[in-house]
A and B are shown apart, each in its own frame.
Chain A
């Protein structure tokens, strides 16, 4: 047994690099408004880079207020016809998007990895297939909406402004667009400034699918562009995924306007491991919970709550497993942990981990080498921390796991719920009744029991408390995009 580490290290991995030949990145990208790519009236552009190499990929248009206004007007103009289309025809358009995403899946996966730094095996096996599945699921709802709401007739709201984050760029676009389009709304979408490219490739797919001009408009830019979009008086509904800080600012900005709002915000999920858990499975779940997508996951299991009696066992196994994680070139199919999305995010992670050390936490990292260029942060375990510590309270949004212990289920639940967030949680036990009791008492929108970080278009996702409101996915994901009229 002492040789497990030696054995693990003896296994060398030959590089298995995904080719980038399938993607042709243009030197510059315009805004997608009214079905066409148009130059920004703002006249400004920004550079998007590959975070794994720090090399520039393309110049991307930065939409100013005039550009946002043009996009909102295009969406407004397209609304009557799109919402008035026979629902079965609208369904077919959305089905086409799903099919084209599947056809061009490899291209999207490579581009997502290039622009965002996530491992190709994740963009290939998770992001892109789930994005296609999301369009396919909601396409089917378009002509069945009258069955979704008890005694109510749903109708489209109007123009929807959607602002999405950089951690799952294409997937978040799909989560936002699919239900909005299926219910007959028109959209102005703002991708994140560090990851605009797959949304712009999606614009090409929308053209290919013959989505009518103006039904989806894509305005690239940073915070100012997003702010101009959500504040635009022509927007009837806002959907935002991102940090709780920005979400709160949007809620303030929309106060008194009567605009509809849904927010999918930050998290600080507890991952609770009981002594009667299947420990090896739990260790895999902890790894997946926090290191999936470099921990750039709002629902990441970033607080490990382990029962005191198995603390040493679990942490030993966890460290051993972390030693086998391969950090590096996101295009390598062997890579487990890719690049941190941006220099700014790397700074934030480093700052918080330093704060963890300063507050008395013990930081442990494996010995994996990382490339010289690019943004990297090794998988990190912080123990000897208390609930008051910043690394336990604040969302780090990186591959950093804080470890707390507990003795009783009641203590585990109290600690798990001791956060302003409430997006997700995990519970590991082989005892069904205990699992259900804990799941009932956790204040979280999604509870993964004996698994973690599972997603599906038919499964509602969204937070309690300061993790936001509204659900995405499933029948529940339709409600944010409809007005309900009584059936007379």
Chain B
């Protein structure tokens, strides 16, 4: 038997369905679970902007898919993740798979749980239903880096949003591996974009971006939170916190990434 040298992976960004290196040409060292040191793309604010543009372009198409179709695509993520489970942290991967399955089933139920036909005092048909808020920025929890990310990402996708993720800075490898799962799971390019790098550098740009509608601050370090929330006010962003905790699994988390629209129409002849 000949010894084979292992082929190392280059951990790149995930933007618009592609895997580019950071436009800045930077990378930073990260210690992998096996103790080896690998280099991970160190995203720049330009990468964040590119990711937002990709997310915005993909958003109408993702939201326009039928809820049934979106549900099947999210379920497909679970299928592909199941097949690649050895790539992911052993303690988190089962939970992550189960979470995708759980949220996949919500796509065609959330409107029924949260919508209403309103009994207004007049001759009007009046109906309220949740819809996507648009482009969501997510600061993924530092740890657990896979389950934490999936717990925030999946509920945002259910309602038809597209997402720009700032991955766990200390443990970004599962996020990049997850990008490979998403890229092979029928999730259209641009629906999820994943940036690795330094949160302190990138968060203000993501939070202040005028084409981002909502920012999830679950993984924002405490010392950056006030700054991020101030930046978010620039375009009156919805600042989202997990309903109960970072590892929530709840329809209320889906709804925090949604807007309720009410439509009136007269009833008569």
Query: Chain A 446-488, CB within 8 Å of chain B: the 1/0 string?
Result: 1111110010101111101111110100111000000010100
**Cross-chain pairs A/B with CB under 8 angstroms, 22 sampled:** A133-B121, A150-B113, A247-B236, A248-B236, A251-B229, A252-B233, A255-B233, A445-B260, A446-B263, A447-B262, A449-B265, A451-B124, A456-B118, A459-B126, A460-B118, A464-B261, A465-B235, A468-B236, A469-B238, A475-B116, A484-B244, A484-B252
CB-based contact A263/B236 at 8 Å: yes
Q: Among the interface residues B126, B225, B228, B236, which one has the most CB atoms of the partner chain A within 10 A?
A: B236
In the complex, A152 has a CB within 8 A of chain B = yes
In the complex, B216 has a CB within 8 A of chain A = no
**Whole-angstrom distance between the alpha carbons of A255 and B213 in the complex?**
17
CB-based contact B263/A449 at 8 Å: yes
Give the Cβ gap from B131 to chain A, nearest Cβ, in Å.
8
In the complex, B251 has a CB within 8 A of chain A = yes
In the complex, B46 has a CB within 8 A of chain A = no
Within 8 A of B (CB), among A427-456: 435, 439, 444-451, 454, 456
In-complex Cβ contact of B124 among A152, A255, A447, A454 (8 A): A454
Known: A251-B236, A469-B238. A458 touches B264 (CB 8 A): no
In the complex, A47 has a CB within 8 A of chain B = no
In-complex Cβ contact of B264 among A149, A451, A468 (8 A): A451
**Whole-angstrom distance between the alpha carbons of A476 and B126 in the complex?**
14
Query: Chain B 114-154, CB within 8 Å of chain A: the 1/0 string?
Result: 00101111101010100001000000000000000000000
Report the nearest B residue to A467, measured CB to CB: B236
Report the nearest B residue to A486, measured CB to CB: B244
Write out the residue numbers on chain A whose beta carbons fall within 8 Å of the beta carbon of B260.
Answer: 445, 460, 462, 471, 476
Write out the residue numbers on chain B whose beta carbons fall within 8 Å of the beta carbon of A265.
Answer: 236
**Whole-angstrom distance between the alpha carbons of A415 and B113 in the complex?**
32
Number of interface residues of B (CB under 8 A): 36
**Whole-angstrom distance between the alpha carbons of A462 and B213 in the complex?**
15
Give the Cβ gap from B177 to chain A, nearest Cβ, in Å.
31
CB-based contact B122/A456 at 8 Å: yes
**Whole-angstrom distance between the alpha carbons of A448 and B261 in the complex?**
11
SS class of chain B's interface: helix, strand, loop or mixed?
mixed
CB-based contact A454/B120 at 8 Å: yes
CB-based contact B261/A447 at 8 Å: yes
CB-based contact B259/A420 at 8 Å: no
Known: A469-B238, A474-B118. A456 touches B126 (CB 8 A): yes
Within 8 A of A (CB), among B101-118: 113, 116, 118
Give the Cβ gap from B269 to chain A, nearest Cβ, in Å.
12
Query: Chain A 116-136, CB within 8 Å of chain B: the 1/0 string?
Result: 000000000000000001000
Give the Cβ gap from B133 to chain A, nearest Cβ, in Å.
8
Q: Among the interface residues B228, B261, B265, which one has the most CB atoms of the partner chain A within 10 A?
A: B261
Known: A451-B124, A464-B259, A469-B238. 18 other contacts (CB 8 A): A248-B234, A255-B230, A256-B227, A256-B229, A445-B259, A447-B261, A451-B265, A456-B121, A456-B126, A459-B120, A459-B128, A460-B116, A460-B118, A465-B236, A471-B260, A484-B243, A484-B244, A486-B244
**Whole-angstrom distance between the alpha carbons of A152 and B216 in the complex?**
22
CB-based contact B233/A451 at 8 Å: no
Report the nearest B residue to A456, measured CB to CB: B120
In the complex, B266 has a CB within 8 A of chain A = yes
CB-based contact B233/A458 at 8 Å: no
Write out the residue numbers on chain B whose beta carbons fall within 8 Å of the beta carbon of A420.
Answer: 235
CB-based contact B263/A439 at 8 Å: yes
CB-based contact A461/B238 at 8 Å: no
Report the nearest A residue to B210, measured CB to CB: A420
CB-based contact A248/B233 at 8 Å: yes
**Whole-angstrom distance between the alpha carbons of A474 and B128 in the complex?**
9
10 smallest beta-carbon distances between A and B, as pairs = A256-B226, A255-B229, A251-B233, A456-B120, A255-B230, A458-B118, A466-B236, A459-B118, A252-B233, A447-B263
Write out the residue numbers on chain B whose beta carbons fall within 8 Å of the beta carbon of A456.
Answer: 118, 120-122, 124, 126
In the complex, B81 has a CB within 8 A of chain A = no
**Whole-angstrom distance between the alpha carbons of A420 and B235 in the complex?**
8
Write out the residue numbers on chain A whose beta carbons fall within 8 Å of the beta carbon of B126.
Answer: 456, 458-459
Give the Cβ gap from A339 to chain B, nearest Cβ, in Å.
28
Give the Cβ gap from A209 to chain B, nearest Cβ, in Å.
22
In the complex, B181 has a CB within 8 A of chain A = no
Q: Which residues of A contact B (CB under 8 A)?
A: 133, 149-150, 152, 244, 247-249, 251-252, 254-256, 263, 265, 420, 435, 439, 444-451, 454, 456, 458-462, 464-469, 471, 474-476, 484, 486
Give the Cβ gap from B137 to chain A, nearest Cβ, in Å.
15
**Whole-angstrom distance between the alpha carbons of A468 and B237 in the complex?**
8
Report the nearest B residue to A424, measured CB to CB: B262
In the complex, B232 has a CB within 8 A of chain A = yes
Write out the residue numbers on chain A whose beta carbons fall within 8 Å of the beta carbon of B243.
Answer: 484
Write out the residue numbers on chain A whose beta carbons fall within 8 Å of the beta carbon of B262.
Answer: 445-447, 459-461, 474
CB-based contact A449/B230 at 8 Å: no
Report the nearest A residue to B233, measured CB to CB: A251
**Whole-angstrom distance between the alpha carbons of A149 and B113 in the complex?**
9
**Whole-angstrom distance between the alpha carbons of A133 and B119 in the complex?**
13
Write out the residue numbers on chain B whose beta carbons fall within 8 Å of the beta carbon of A450.
Answer: 265-266
**Whole-angstrom distance between the alpha carbons of A152 and B255 in the complex?**
14
**Whole-angstrom distance between the alpha carbons of A67 and B10 in the complex?**
62
Give the Cβ gap from B3 to chain A, nearest Cβ, in Å.
54
**Whole-angstrom distance between the alpha carbons of A446 and B243 in the complex?**
26
Query: Chain B 35-74, CB within 8 Å of chain A: the 1/0 string?
Result: 0000000000000000000000000000000000000000
**Whole-angstrom distance between the alpha carbons of A15 and B116 in the complex?**
45
**Whole-angstrom distance between the alpha carbons of A464 and B126 in the complex?**
18
Report the nearest B residue to A436, measured CB to CB: B263
In-complex Cβ contact of B261 among A152, A445, A467 (8 A): A445
**Whole-angstrom distance between the alpha carbons of A111 and B243 in the complex?**
43
**Whole-angstrom distance between the alpha carbons of A460 and B131 in the complex?**
14
CB-based contact B252/A244 at 8 Å: no
Write out the residue numbers on chain B whose beta carbons fall within 8 Å of the beta carbon of A449.
Answer: 263-265
**Whole-angstrom distance between the alpha carbons of A454 and B263 in the complex?**
10
Write out the residue numbers on chain B whose beta carbons fall within 8 Å of the beta carbon of A462.
Answer: 260
Write out the residue numbers on chain B whose beta carbons fall within 8 Å of the beta carbon of A464.
Answer: 133, 259, 261
In-complex Cβ contact of A152 among B226, B229, B252 (8 A): B252
Report the nearest A residue to B234, measured CB to CB: A248
Write out the residue numbers on chain A whose beta carbons fall within 8 Å of the beta carbon of B244.
Answer: 484, 486
Write out the residue numbers on chain A whose beta carbons fall within 8 Å of the beta carbon of B213.
Answer: 465
Give the Cβ gap from B185 to chain A, nearest Cβ, in Å.
27
Write out the residue numbers on chain A whose beta carbons fall within 8 Å of the beta carbon of B133.
Answer: 464
CB-based contact A460/B128 at 8 Å: yes
CB-based contact B259/A251 at 8 Å: no
**Whole-angstrom distance between the alpha carbons of A263 and B233 in the complex?**
11
Write out the residue numbers on chain B whose beta carbons fall within 8 Å of the beta carbon of A445.
Answer: 259-262
CB-based contact A447/B264 at 8 Å: yes
Report the nearest A residue to B238, measured CB to CB: A469
Report the nearest A residue to B214, measured CB to CB: A469
**Whole-angstrom distance between the alpha carbons of A139 and B262 in the complex?**
22
